[in-house]
Amino acid sequence: MVGVADDQPSAPAPDTATVSGGHPVLSLALAAMMEDVHAHSGAVYLLGADPPVLEMAVMAGLPRAFAAPWERVTLHAPVPVADAVRERRTVWVGDEEEMARRYPRVAVVLPYPFALVALPVATESTAYGAVFLTWPGARATELSERELRRLTAACERLAVRLERAAAASVPVHPEPDLLAAPVVGGAPGTLGSLEAVRMVGRLPYGLCSLDLHGRVGFANPAAAELMGVPVAELIGTHLWTSVPWLNDPVYEDRYRAALFSQHATSFVALRPPGDWLSFRLYPTRTGLSVRISRARGVSRPGSAGAVPDGAAPPRLVTISQVVSLTGALSEAVGVRDVVQLIADEIAPTVGSQGLVVLGSRAGRLHVLGHRGYPDPRAVERFDGTPLTEPIPGAQVLRTGVPAFFESWEQLERLYPARRGTHDGFAAWAFLPLIASGRPVGTCVLAYSRPHSFTTEERAILTSLAGLVAQALDRALVYDAKYRLAHGLQDALLPHSLPLLPGVEAAARYLPATRGMDIGGDFYDLVPAGGAPVAVIGDVQGHNVTAAGLMGQVRTAVRAYTAVGQAPEEVVRSTNRLLIDLGTELFVSCLYLRLDAARGRATLARAGHPPPLLRRPDGRVEVLDVAGGPLLGIDPSAAYPCTEIDLAPGSLLALYTDGLVESPGADFEDALADLGHRLADAGDLPLDALADRLVRDEAGAEERPDDIALMLLRAKG
């Protein structure tokens, strides 16, 4: 990363050893910020350049295990520090409800009352990292202007020092976390403290002290007797390690809740065979005091069963990581999302630099996605390889057994067929992705240097592969349905508009981003002899049913037009057809017959938003013409026609409500805004104008509704 020059600007830059060993700049800066605003905990992240990943360099106030899922995060991760760096702004989260609303994946892992602020550590030109600080409970107000100003200034000073160090090529390394003093289990050093120990030893209930890591620093005889473990075996250990029946994530969660909220908390636990004990935890910033007594009148809680003797204790960091990744994977929709998530969150966490996700179809390997390979051909050459080939990617997918290779020599020795196919990496983990008992793919994690896979690491990677497999299985099904749905919609919408005498035309369609990105908005332009017809409509819903009904409506309109029905009759006949079909979906429609020779147009409207007309002089008006109800409601509904002037140079804009309606926006204001844009840009070529009118919606991350737009310009 970068180093820190702590001397005056005119002084020579210090060497690496002095900076990293003699001046814990990050720790001192973090401690000063926490002291200045009375924060409970905090951390400093440094931004690596390739790939751009934020790595926690030092943490204070709480064990690092609490933030384990976010020790390494990409700039696109949905967490406050990533937003602070990416957007160069201060991020404030006032309480657990706001955290759940804005950062649900953080709230799932840390469902406790606390407030948080994240700030970028950056100069005007370069981002170097981020800082976050937390307070227990919910703060009534945001940071004061003074607090925010002082924190911002502290981050700016730290950024300047990192900039100087980068210029001097002096690296900054992670520093020891700032926690309370280590566990001390020896004899007291003063007469007063010795008497305090004697006093506590005479109490009839148990007392013990835990440090911030949950290790026992002191226990009185009553605590040892109640838990059935000698004091000597408790000192220096975690309660859930030394006491088998406390080996339950529920009890660890109470410990975490007490430290995070700084509020006393409690739980009851069953000591086999039938003794219930009550544990009351009193937290401070240096650790916890625990009071243990017998509980009466309690029943066994279903969520906290005992763990058999000899079972391995669950690690807090593993629980946090699994919960966080499970939440993230549940948000992945398609295969591309799953691949991106692995690349952004899993690969950096385990130190991998390359990623390949493989699937199978018709007995052959298929590359579903890859990241980190400078030459894509190193991966893509395996696409289409038969599963019978003696290569690790195929064998792992075929057998469901993971394979780990700590060097290229090891891989080449076991798989001679890979000779001459080096991909530039030095170690690999081939993980089978098994969902519901069947392999759905292989995840390949590649490392730039030889890597020794410990037993624990292999177990963790295999477990993570199980989570990825479930997400990939859902994603494959979603993508198949997506292709089917879009194939249907592509077949139902016109691929191009016909060239008509006297009329220019352009159209755009944007699907909603919710559901399967498919809907019932449609448009069409029918030559129909000398009087061409334009139609635009909107079928209720965003699914395959809506798309299918849209196709039926479009076909019906074409058929009734072809037999020569008048505009009002075409709309009325289509309405009766929908009612005869018995569908529960309603349809809006605008039907327009053009007579370019006479400079006239005839409109029939069925519950559809009014079109806009731009006159040759640039004035725009809303054609709020008469019409009838939505199609599919009233079998006797009438749809009166309106004839309008369409002089050469006139421009008609037909659209669906997705272009002008959005939650919280006024329809009239949105329609007026569309009219202003049409007036300002109406002289552009039609394709450029169509792109201009849907530009904001096309770039939006979320579109709650489909959008269809058709532009018609009368030529002279």
Indicate whether 597 pLDDT > 70. Answer: yes
Mean pLDDT over the full length of the chain: 82
**Candidate from 25-29, 151-155, 284-288, 317-321 with smallest mean pLDDT:** 317-321
Instruction: Give pLDDT, residue 420.
Output: 66
pLDDT in tens, 45-72: 999 876 788 999 999 988 888 888 888 8
Compute the residue count for the chain.
Answer: 716
Instruction: Give pLDDT, residue 630.
Output: 92
DSSP state of 4: -
Indicate whether 302 pLDDT > 70. Answer: no
pLDDT in tens, 535-544: 999 888 666 6
Task: Please give the model's pTM, rounded to 2 decimal places.
Answer: 0.47
**Rounded CA separation 346/372 (Å):** 13
pLDDT in tens, 393-416: 998 888 888 889 999 888 888 888
Q: Are residues 76 and 82 in contact, defined by beta-carbon separation less than 8 angstroms?
A: yes
DSSP state of 61: S
The residue type at 345: E
For 567: left if phi > 0, alpha if psi spans -120 to 50, otherwise beta; the answer is: alpha
Q: Are residues 325 and 467 in contact, defined by beta-carbon separation less than 8 angstroms?
A: yes
Instruction: Give pLDDT, residue 110.
Output: 81
**Candidate from 441-450, 549-558, 560-569, 645-654 with smallest mean pLDDT:** 549-558
Q: What is the mean pLDDT of residues 316-340?
A: 68
pLDDT in tens, 4-23: 333 333 333 333 333 444 56
The helix-helix angle for 667-681 and 686-698 (nearest 10°) equals: 140
H or E element at residue 707:
strand 707-714
Instruction: Give pLDDT, residue 543.
Output: 64
Indicate whether 27 pLDDT > 70. Answer: yes
How many percent of the chain have pLDDT more than 70?
Answer: 84
* Triad 208, 212, 214: Cα angle to 5°: 55
Instruction: Give pLDDT, residue 13.
Output: 34
Q: Are strands 620-622 and 354-361 parallel, antiparallel or unpaired?
A: unpaired
Q: What is the residue-wise DSSP string for 43-56? A: EEEEE-SSS-EEEE
The residue type at 252: E
Instruction: Give pLDDT, residue 136.
Output: 87
Tell me the C-alpha to C-alpha distance, in Å, between residue 85 and each of 47, 73, 115, 222, 562.
Answer: 9, 11, 19, 51, 60
Range picked from 106-115, 315-324, 428-437 for highest mean pLDDT: 428-437
**In the beta sheet, which residues pair with residue 707?**
510
Q: Are residues 518 and 487 in contact, defined by beta-carbon separation less than 8 angstroms?
A: no
3-state SS assignment for residue 442:
strand
Instruction: Give pLDDT, residue 712.
Output: 94
Q: Are residues 612 and 620 in contact, defined by beta-carbon separation less than 8 angstroms?
A: yes
CA atoms within 13 A on the CB side of 364: 8
Instruction: Give pLDDT, residue 5.
Output: 35
Q: Could you give the maximum distance between any two Cα atoms of the chain, in Å?
A: 111
| Residue with the larger pLDDT of the pair 420 and 464 | 464
Q: What is the mean pLDDT of residues 570-591?
A: 90
Indicate whether 669 pLDDT > 60. Answer: yes
**Rounded CA separation 525/533 (Å):** 6
Range picked from 43-47, 270-274, 694-698 for highest mean pLDDT: 43-47
**In the beta sheet, which residues pair with residue 210?**
216, 288
Q: Are residues 631 and 607 in contact, defined by beta-carbon separation less than 8 angstroms?
A: yes
Tokens of 491: 């077949």
Confidence of residue 307 (pLDDT cuts 50, 70, 90): very low
